[in-house]
């Protein structure tokens, strides 16, 4: 069992994958899947309709643009260099999942539960992210969420060095959400982020946005 240290006494459990035991997956990504201990490399599933489970596996450079993925479960899985753009993921369960270098322009993610999820250097501009339940920690590091939309719960979600410019928030809870260092210029719905953490530098950036949302008239 391996953990990733996120600082401030926070950590998340990394996927449990035995890379030496992975076997190449040669099937198509469509219909009902039940994949375990496999390496899915370079498969093109553009526009596919997919449901099922993937566990203790690696998805490398998989093309899932315009796909419909529902219901779906990812457990102990690493996703590297995948293209999720304009795909629709509904009724999704994510547990001990890592994403690295993925592209998800316009990705629609509706997760019933997400726990120990880590995404690094991914581009999720104009994505729609809805999290019903966050278990443990969800961390985004150096990810872009320009003009993305967030709903549901952002409890214990970390946005480290992320670009959230012009993003829109309509969340029900954000207790322990860490936005310190994130770019928030032009963001909307900041009043729904009660309980989230920002730093002193960001206060200057969001002050006018918060005042406007609160109905105050800001004059020079």
pLDDT(215) > 90:
no
Q: For 15-47, what is each residue's pLDDT tens digit? A: 999 999 999 999 999 999 999 999 999 999 999
Angle, vertex CA 182, rays to CA 177 and CA 183, nearest 5 = 135
Q: For 61-82, what is each residue's pLDDT tens digit? A: 999 999 999 999 999 999 999 9
If you average pLDDT over residues 89-99, what whole number do you get? 98
Give the Å distances, CA to CA, from 61 to 58, 80, 178. Answer: 10, 6, 30
- Delineate the domains of the chain, giving CATH numbers in brackets: 3-213 (2.160.20.80)
pTM: 0.93
């Amino acid at each position: 069992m391996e953990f990733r240290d996120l600082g401030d006494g926070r950590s998340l459990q990394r996927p449990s994958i035995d890379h030496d035991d992975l076997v190449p997956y040669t099937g198509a990504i469509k219909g009902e899947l039940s994949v375990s201990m496999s390496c899915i490399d370079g498969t093109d599933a553009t526009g596919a309709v997919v449901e099922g489970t993937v566990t203790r596996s690696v998805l490398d450079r998989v093309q899932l643009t315009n796909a419909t993925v529902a219901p779906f479960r990812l457990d102990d899985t690493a996703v590297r260099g995948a293209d999720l753009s304009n795909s629709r993921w509904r009724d999704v369960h994510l547990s001990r999942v890592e994403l690295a270098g993925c592209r998800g322009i316009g990705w629609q993610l509706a997760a019933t539960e997400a726990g120990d999820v880590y995404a690094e250097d991914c581009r999720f501009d104009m994505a729609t992210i809805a999290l019903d339940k966050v278990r443990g920690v969800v961390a985004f590091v150096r990810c872009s969420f320009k003009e993305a939309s967030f709903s549901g719960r952002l409890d214990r979600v970390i946005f480290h060095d992320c670009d959230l410019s012009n993003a829109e928030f309509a969340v029900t809870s954000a207790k322990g959400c860490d936005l310190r260092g994130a770019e928030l210029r032009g963001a909307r719905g900041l009043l729904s982020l009660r309980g989230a953490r920002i730093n002193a530098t960001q206060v200057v950036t969001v002050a006018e946005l918060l005042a406007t949302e609160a109905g105050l008239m800001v004059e020079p």
